[in-house]
Amino acid sequence: MQTDALADAGGFIASLSKDEREALGARLRPIRFVDGEPIVTAGEPGADLYLILEGRAEVGLVSVQGREVTYRDVGPGDMIGEIAAIDRSPRSASVTARGPVLAGVLTRADFEALIADSPGFALALMRHLTGQIRSITERVFELSTMLVRDRLVRELLRRGRASAGGADRAELSPPPTHHDLASRIGANREAVSREMSRLSGEGLLTRAGRHLVIPSLAALGEELDDPP
């Protein structure tokens, strides 16, 4: 399918060589999801993988008390479902489409063929996995040692840095909802709301229409007790 669409995406696909990308693209079967639709569901069997081609989705779980936990969110070029495909166990988390999503399905058989045929693919996959370990590990550290205030600041710094590419000023658009941030940092909506107000009051955050602006990532970073 559309290997050209894969070319300029980010995420996992970006770490592949042109040949590997084409070998992957040739095995994808397109599939669409509507807003809110589950792409994979935690606890269920299933070993196919998905590559996000267009749109965004959230990887996470909901507790029985209704509290949402988001592990990561994914966009064009990102891979989903690799855990279950590799270890043949039930899905470890659910993935939900946020808006319309176009994905490419890769069967486990094709996935295993790619690994066997292309050493570069296997290496890229391993680096993808270690990247996930690093980021989840960091989150455990934050949850174990920091207050909501610092966890929020660090989450904003991460998002700001990702969208600002080197600059000190960052714009987040669309701005994340407080509920969204809360589910990322293990806090409730109101706590995030209060901290956001405080940061705005101190001039560390500004609103410009539909954008949430971080005038200075460096200044925001000063807020931390704990050096990042």
Partner DNA sequence: CCCGCGCTGTGCGTTTGCGCACAATCGGCT
Partner DNA sequence: AGCCGATTGTGCGCAAACGCACAGCGCGGG
Does 63 engage in binding with its own copies (CB under 8 A)? yes
Which residue from 45, 64, 166, 210 is in contact with DNA, where contact means CB under 7 A? 210
Q: Check: CB of residue 79 under 8 Å from CB of residue 12.
A: yes
Q: How far is CA 126 from CA 68, 82, 120, in A?
A: 28, 11, 10
Token reading at 224: 């931390």
CB atoms within 10 A of CB 108: 16
Q: Which helix (H) or strand (E) holds 152?
A: helix 148-164
Which residue from 26, 34, 69, 218 is in contact with its own copies, where contact means CB under 8 A? 69
Does 145 engage in binding with its own copies (CB under 8 A)? yes
In whole angstroms, what is the distance from residue 26 CA to residue 8 CA? 16
Does 172 engage in binding with DNA (CB under 7 A)? no
CB atoms within 10 A of CB 221: 18
- Taking the complex as a whole, the smallest distance from the CB of residue 228 to its own copies amounts, in Å, to 11
- Taking the complex as a whole, the smallest distance from the CB of residue 226 to its own copies amounts, in Å, to 5
Which residue from 3, 193, 206, 216 is in contact with DNA, where contact means CB under 7 A? 193
Q: Where on the chain is the footprint of its own copies (CB under 8 A)?
A: 61, 63-65, 67, 69, 71, 82-83, 86-87, 89, 92-93, 115-116, 119, 122-123, 125-127, 129-134, 136-137, 139-141, 143-146, 186, 225-227
